[in-house]
Structure 1
Amino acid sequence: MPWPYPEHNPYVGDDGVRDEDLRLAALVAQRLSADWTTRRQQISVSVQNRVVILTGMVADSATRQAAGDLAWDVIGVFDVCNALTLYGRGRGRR
């Protein structure tokens, strides 16, 4: 079951949770854009209930791992869902 977007979450009644998620998303995105390994990659960051969700495409598995590690290093992050894919994966080879 996919996670719904935060604005569709019936369990969130407090704007403090949304504010914290936005703050964490900004901090993770800042870290990813500052690091030389991940700065030129196509990475999207979203946060839901302090769980960071990384999506997009990266060049190699080391970059994928680095992005996950950078997200984990942000104080306040509860978990990281690293859904990054590698360029060239998922395409049929002929």
Structure 2
Amino acid sequence: MVRLIIPNGLTNMSKNLIVSGTITCTPQELATFSEVVSEHIKLTRAEPGCIEFDIRQDTPGSCTFLIAERFTDRAAFESHTARTRASDWWGKTQHIPRDINITEE
């Protein structure tokens, strides 16, 4: 399940789009998650419009990962989303619950 919180009125395309939240896998999913996350980070950081992108384990051994993303605008984020939906990352992790907040700054 992916839960997104997008405030009403989030439409100004000139502001940075900030994504924060968590992704929590089960202990059984941890190996698969760890296998694909590094490539996902590398590819995302190379995308036009990606200012910051980090996914890191909350604490050593934890199955919860903290997400911190910043894109130049909504268009860059939408391009990122489109790319990820066709990726190995999404194919292997789309079922893992995410709790995501999106804001503009």
| TM-score, length-scaled by structure 1 | 0.51
Task: Give the 3-state SS of the residue equivalent to 1:26 in structure 2.
Answer: helix
Cα pair distance change 1:74/1:35, threshold 3 Å:
same
The within-5 A match list for 1:73-84 is 73-75=86-88, 76-78=92-94, 83-84=101-102
Q: Deviations over 1:7-41 (max 9, x none)?
A: xx5xx3x3xx2111012211211211233342xx1
State the AA in 1 paired with 2:45. Answer: S
In structure 1, how many angstroms separate the alpha carbons of the residues matched to 2:95 and 2:23?
17
Flag the structure with higher helix content: 1
| Paired residues of 2:53 and 2:69 also in contact (CA < 8 A) | yes
Cα pair distance change 1:35/1:57, threshold 3 Å:
closer
Alpha-carbon shift at residue 54 of structure 1 (Å): 5.0
Task: Give the 3-state SS of the residue equivalent to 2:53 in structure 1.
Answer: strand
State the AA in 1 paired with 2:46. Answer: A
Whether 1:45 and 2:45 are equivalent positions in the alignment is no
Cα pair distance change 1:5/1:79, threshold 3 Å:
closer
Identity %: 5
Moved over 3 A (4+): 2-6, 79-86
Gaps of 5+ in 2: 1-20, 58-62
| TM-score, length-scaled by structure 2 | 0.47
The within-5 A match list for 1:1-94 is 5-6=24-25, 12=27, 14=28, 17-38=29-50, 41-45=51-55, 55-75=68-88, 76-78=92-94, 83-86=101-104, 88=105
In structure 2, how many angstroms separate the alpha carbons of the residues matched to 1:83 and 1:73?
22
